[in-house]
A and B are shown apart, each in its own frame.
Chain A
Amino acid sequence: MSTVLTTEDIRNLRTGAHFLTCTIDPTAIYIYAEMIQRAMEDRSLELITVDELAPDDLVVAVGMVTQGLFIADMPPVGDEFLGCIRAIEASLGRSVRAIYSLAAANINGIVPLMVGLQSSLPVIDSDPMGRVFPLISQTTLNIGNVPIGPIALMGVTGERAVVEVESPQRAETLVRALVTELGGWAATAMYPCSAQQLKEHGVHGSISRMIRIGQILNANTPVEKKLLMLAEFLGTTRIARARVSHIESLSRPTDLGLPAQPSSVTLDDETTGRIIRLEIQNEILLVLVDGAVTAAVPDMVTLLNSEQGTVVNIDDVQVGDVIDIVKITAAAQWYTEAGLDLTEPKAFGIPIGHPRRRHA
């Protein structure tokens, strides 16, 4: 059933997109949300489910790929994504019928709405991650053997590239190199596939979930009630409420081409004495409670201000802060053997298997 989104939905979506990432500077999300809300004054934005498309309709994922440069530092001109979609259409000789987001959180959770407004294409309420991952190969479409290419990229200077590639791992290398050359970030369109393929291998309800999270967090209700509603809606568990005791950066060696520096935060749970350690790179990859793995990617871990229930940015964490550490289970596809191969801590250079992986 298609839904026409309102500006209120965009406000909630912004909060939801931030909640599910938690660790990253949300400035770009806010900029995009504001642009979208302005653009909606004279255009309507349609959110559809994948079922509303014909099975062989061409759909494509849109999203930003960054390599060291914050998007807010050098904002896009505005035609980058349209250029990418045109390049895909030219490459495949077919028209794109709808777009979907590359990730279900952070900036890539909100970008497709802007693209939808610009292109008048409907936005599908699905994505290939069900959360956000740093690598473009870390998708459920990859698990389903859906080709990642051709990939269209357009950078800040208006330069455009189309990469004809099938292997997502190889695409990763090529795209990272191109993005560096294109100026630090690039608008991309990738994973062009049929609506049927997206239906079979995607994660569904991603946009509406972010809106619902925003509705809960933005409502005028007490913090405890919000947390309860979130727990009910997302199945979240609170790992601990603890005080930050130590922050270190560059806590692990990095040679895997991952687009961020590692760091870690140590917290003390003052009621039980437990020592909690967060390992971070773009996002929280690993939570150790007294040295035991309590949450690990692909689990989502988010930090909440214990008094206000708002999302805490990792960059803003300071020694002495009391924080709720919340764990959210990711999409079911990620806990299969193939899913864990792509996203468990080992994929991020931490030689620990996910606790859910069956022991041989």
Chain B
Amino acid sequence: MRRPKNENRLDVAGLLAHGSLRGTTPLYLTPSSALIESVVLVSQLEAIRQVRPNTVVVLSAEMGSGGWLVSAALRHAWERRASAVVVAGSTYASAAVGLAQRLGITLLAADGDPAALALALAAEIGAALSVVDAELARVARTVAKDTTLGDVLKTISGELDGFGVSLEYDGVVLASTGMPPRETDEVITVEVGGANSAVRFTLTARVPVSGVHNLRLVRSILEVATPAVKAAWLLEDLLSTARAVPTAAIAGLDQDPAGSGAEFEEKHRHLLNQLGWREGELYVAVWFRGGRVQDHRPELTAVLRLLWRKVTLRSPLAEVEGGWLTLVPAGDQDTSTQLENRIRTRLGPALAELGLVAGLSRWQEDTPALASIVREARLAAESVRSTGPGTVLGFASLGVAAATGFVNMDAVALVAELSLPRLMTSPDRDVIMTAVAAFLDHRGSVSLAANFLNLHRNTLQARLNRARELGVPLDNPSELLSVHLIAHVLRRSMPDQANAPASTSDSSP
């Protein structure tokens, strides 16, 4: 690609030396030769206001050649970042040349008819463009041979001298190849529109600014390659969907929450065998889900599948009710831990961007039922929803604490509001509830709780008494769990948690 790209690049110096500008007299030449991409023959000054950058502006002979005209033309051309201004041959005052120098724009005088020069230049630009067209056709044929998205991106990158090329969705890089991105790169983006035009997939090339590259050609190559990108991606997605059927089946068949995992396995043994699941193989289940249920975008499955390839290529990802599921073979605990870390490091930021969370099942040596590990992963995913997008959590580090993930915090807060009105309206509410929470966290020990809060025992005691005055039933064991839950919820909504020295996760009920 490099050779033809440089050969097709027309510039002022080149065309002056051996091109259609050879017959002109340079009145002023800029130190660096400007790129030439088009030519316009103007007969009215106003027309220069519309020219594209890198255009040679040729003033027609009938416009005359007054110094003021050249001055105004130079100014307009400079504002439009034109490559050069060509005027009819004549004697020019040093002032016009001085202005060209001041504005840094090449000024040439045509010895013959400027219109003839414009025609010759247009022919030369057309010839160069036709070479470019042939080149683009070759690129299109090459990328059409690739069948995987990775290969298509690699081919595009190869055609672009190894520049970084990536497929992105809403700013999340789904797949990339070539040179790693640098901040100074010139970013060229082409939309990869789906059937739904609102979906923003883009094919992006990052071109180092140091090199002299024809950015329009880079864009053209991306545009030509876009259909191949789409085709390869759709094909892969189709294959993934087929491969994910056995995984989807497990989630789809497990509709009886009362039945144990083992019962499920017994009931569907034959079907599971037919689907390819073998007894005695160890898996870790991974469940992805959206932070909010209604936030479901149809294209997310395809997006997530591309992202999932950054973790593993072997386990297909299935779209299931309430999220996405995959089962990853994991022969030992280390493999399971590595998997969790890989998901966190390679997908965490992307999941956060997409508003998703992930939950993993525990690794267990005694070959747990597939339905059980799927349930674990789903529970883990559901219980971390409140922690915020991008969270990745294993059921192993959750245990019974998962239960609090299913408590409706808003409902508990409402219960507190209605049943403890005096406490809720009290100005010292936060201090009192911090004291109550610490007291209950430390199994009713005033000494331990006071120590934890860095308070004197009597101070804490006074606050607990104050809580009792405000109606908090601290002395009725059957109500303590509810009080603890309310304390837990209220403490979350406190503006400043500095008065609670320990983190809430340590002191969960």
Residues of A that sit less than 8 Å from B by CB: 245-246, 248, 251-253, 264, 266, 268, 273-275, 277, 279, 286, 288, 290-293, 350-353
Which B residues between 61 and 92 are near A, CB-CB below 8 angstroms? 64, 66-68, 71-76, 78
Which B residues between 305 and 354 are near A, CB-CB below 8 angstroms? none
Give the shortest distance, in Å, between B94 (CB) and chain A (any CB): 6
Which chain A residues border B103 with CB–CB below 8 Å? 290-291
4 cross-chain pairs, A with B, having the tightest CB-CB distances, nearest first: A291-B75, A266-B95, A291-B71, A252-B66
Contact call B98/A248, Cβ cutoff below 8 A: no
Which chain B residues border A292 with CB–CB below 8 Å? 72, 75
A248–B71 Cα distance when bound, in Å, is 14
Question: B2 near A: Cβ within 8 Å?
Answer: no
Contact call A246/B68, Cβ cutoff below 8 A: no
Question: B44 near A: Cβ within 8 Å?
Answer: yes
Contact call B78/A291, Cβ cutoff below 8 A: yes
- Chain A interface, >50% SS class: strand
Q: A266-B93, A351-B45 are known contacts. Are A252 and B68 too (CB-CB below 8 A)?
A: yes
A260–B72 Cα distance when bound, in Å, is 23
Give the shortest distance, in Å, between A243 (CB) and chain B (any CB): 12
**Number of chain B residues close to chain A: CB under 8 A:** 21
Question: B99 near A: Cβ within 8 Å?
Answer: yes
A28–B428 Cα distance when bound, in Å, is 96
Which chain B residues border A279 with CB–CB below 8 Å? 68
Give the shortest distance, in Å, between B311 (CB) and chain A (any CB): 57
Specify which of A245, A277, A292 lies most central, judged by the most chain B CB atoms within 10 Å of its CB: A277
13 of the cross-chain contacts (CB-CB < 8 Å) are A245-B95, A264-B67, A266-B93, A266-B95, A277-B68, A291-B74, A291-B75, A291-B76, A291-B99, A291-B103, A352-B45, A352-B72, A353-B46
- Chain B interface, >50% SS class: helix
Contact call A251/B72, Cβ cutoff below 8 A: no
A251–B102 Cα distance when bound, in Å, is 22
Contact call B93/A248, Cβ cutoff below 8 A: yes
Task: Return the contact of A251 from the options B46, B67, B76 (Cβ within 8 A).
Answer: B67
* Chain A residue at minimal CB-CB distance from B76: A291
Which chain B residues border A264 with CB–CB below 8 Å? 66-68
A275–B103 Cα distance when bound, in Å, is 10
Contact call A288/B102, Cβ cutoff below 8 A: no
Give the shortest distance, in Å, between B248 (CB) and chain A (any CB): 61
Which chain B residues border A293 with CB–CB below 8 Å? 72
Contact call A290/B66, Cβ cutoff below 8 A: no
Give the shortest distance, in Å, between B501 (CB) and chain A (any CB): 65
Which chain A residues border B78 with CB–CB below 8 Å? 291
Give the shortest distance, in Å, between B28 (CB) and chain A (any CB): 13
Give the shortest distance, in Å, between A119 (CB) and chain B (any CB): 44
Contact call B68/A350, Cβ cutoff below 8 A: yes
Contact call B71/A277, Cβ cutoff below 8 A: yes
A351–B69 Cα distance when bound, in Å, is 9
Which chain A residues border B73 with CB–CB below 8 Å? 291
Which chain A residues border B64 with CB–CB below 8 Å? 252-253
Interface string of B420-448 (1 = CB under 8 A from A): 00000000000000000000000000000
Task: Return the contact of B95 from the options A246, A273, A352 (Cβ within 8 A).
Answer: A246
Contact call B75/A266, Cβ cutoff below 8 A: no
Contact call B68/A251, Cβ cutoff below 8 A: yes
